[in-house]
Amino acid sequence: MAVNQKKNTYKGISTKNGQIYVRFKYLSRPYPVKNFTKLYGCTTEKTANDKLKEIKVLISQGQDPFTTKCETLDDYFYERLELNKNNGTWSDHTYKQYKYFYESIISNKQIHDKKQRALSIGWKKLNKITYEDLTNLIKSIDHTKGSFKSTLKRILKPIFEEAVKRKEIFENPVSLLPVYVVEKKPKVSTRAIEANLTIARKLYIGIMKYKTRERIQIEQTQMFFLLLLMTGHRYGELLKLEKKDIYMNEKKIISPSSITKTREEYIFPFPKELYKYFDSIESGLVFPNLKHGSMWRTFQRIIELSDIQLYRDKKISIHDTRSFLLNIMIKDCKVDGILADACLEHKQGGVLDHYLDFDFKDKKPAFKKYWKLIRN
């Protein structure tokens, strides 16, 4: 009796000899019984039901997930790439980053160096890819940082894990690779001669000196980097902001969870310098003409215009604006360190993550102290 009750928990899903079978009808089309354990590595009826929901989404988009069968690593990677993009698991930036990395290092689509091309494994079937293949790939990028090697593991590990669940292979060779230490970025004090507050004040003035041949981009660029400097939020998220995320009367921004790194909603104030620009936008993206890939070069030009003194061959990155805000709030504005950290929307650890909750009213005074100092 207990077995029959389990089989009827999810309509059309049953268990036989440890295998999960699914029969369903969708959009008036009946589908034959599929072994979800063999196809997708499902070990429970619940996971099979969750997988069925994903499949129905693909069908509603005009795709038939059962018409093709993945054979090579390329097949599995591109299937996972599109699935994670379509279901919102990966942002556009992550999608492009992983695709570029895979095609430049792992596959042979963008590899021009003959030696590197010889190491490519994208054309191989999963059960033919060995630990030696992976270590040879790692050796070929041995000159890179630990984060680069970790990306290789992050891309490949889930593909092989699913293959183990489907019993296509018995061991995940990626899990045998060592843990690669991600090097900490050198602190600003080791790259810049001047203090954080001096740099932030110079940037505040230098940003407004930025000019370009394309007039439509001048104001957008200036306002974007002012918002970046004065809020410390991640520039990829700021580029995705829309007018509907701006609340003019309250002078605050609510970044939806769909565009944030932590997949949580961010609420933070914006300074008076942005009010007129925000008010002039009717709808759509706040910075429609700015591209993610050009931000680094633009920021380096602003560094030059701001006359910031750096040590020889050293650079300041866009991400360093977060360091400016944190250091200035804590050291110069005497803001509580945990509150300053919350202004940057950093995830707290341990008990703090569960119970500590700074709201907009807590953060606004901290931002105002910071703005007053850098405006000088």
The mean pLDDT value of the chain amounts to 86
Do the Cβ atoms of 267 and 311 come closer than 8 Å? no
Structure-token pair, residue 112:
């021009």
Closest by CA to 370, choosing from 222, 239, 268, is 268
Q: Evaluate if residue 2 carries a pLDDT over 50.
A: no
pLDDT at 5: 43
**Within 10 Å of residue 351's Cβ, how many Cβ atoms?**
8
Greater model confidence, 93 or 305: 305
Provide mean pLDDT across the span 252-280: 91
Greater model confidence, 71 or 303: 303
Q: Evaluate if residue 1 carries a pLDDT over 50.
A: no
pLDDT at 145: 60
Task: Kindly report, residue by residue over 310-319, the tens digit of the pLDDT.
Answer: 999 899 999 9
pLDDT at 159: 92
pLDDT at 3: 43
Check for a shared fold between 73-176 and 188-375: no
pLDDT at 141: 77
pLDDT at 184: 73
Q: Evaluate if residue 346 carries a pLDDT over 80.
A: no
Q: What is the DSSP string of 200-261?
A: HHHHHHHGGG---S-HHHHHHHHHHHHHHHHH---HHHHTT-BGGGEETTTTEEEE-GGGST
CA dist., res. 230 & res. 274, Å (int): 10
**Within 10 Å of residue 278's Cβ, how many Cβ atoms?**
18
pLDDT at 164: 87
CATH superfamily of 73-176: Tyrosine recombinase, N-terminal domain (1.10.150.130)
Which of 104-113, 183-192, 323-332 reaches the highest mean pLDDT? 323-332
Task: Kindly report, residue by residue over 76-134, the tens digit of the pLDDT.
Answer: 999 888 888 776 677 777 888 888 888 888 887 666 666 667 788 888 989 889 999 99
Do the Cβ atoms of 138 and 149 come closer than 8 Å? yes
Whether domain 188-375 has CATH 1.10.443.10: the reply is yes
**Within 10 Å of residue 67's Cβ, how many Cβ atoms?**
6
Please give the share of the chain, as a percent, with pLDDT higher than 70.
89
> Would you place residue 167 in the very low, low, confident or very high pLDDT band (cuts 50, 70, 90)?
confident
pLDDT at 146: 62
Task: Kindly report, residue by residue over 139-150, the tens digit of the pLDDT.
Answer: 887 766 667 788
Task: Kindly report, residue by residue over 223-258, the tens digit of the pLDDT.
Answer: 999 999 999 999 989 999 999 999 999 999 999 988
> Would you place residue 7 in the very low, low, confident or very high pLDDT band (cuts 50, 70, 90)?
very low
Provide mean pLDDT across the span 256-279: 91
> Would you place residue 349 in the very low, low, confident or very high pLDDT band (cuts 50, 70, 90)?
low
Enter the pTM of the model. Answer: 0.60
Q: Domain residue spans in the chain?
A: 2-60, 73-176, 188-375
pLDDT at 354: 57
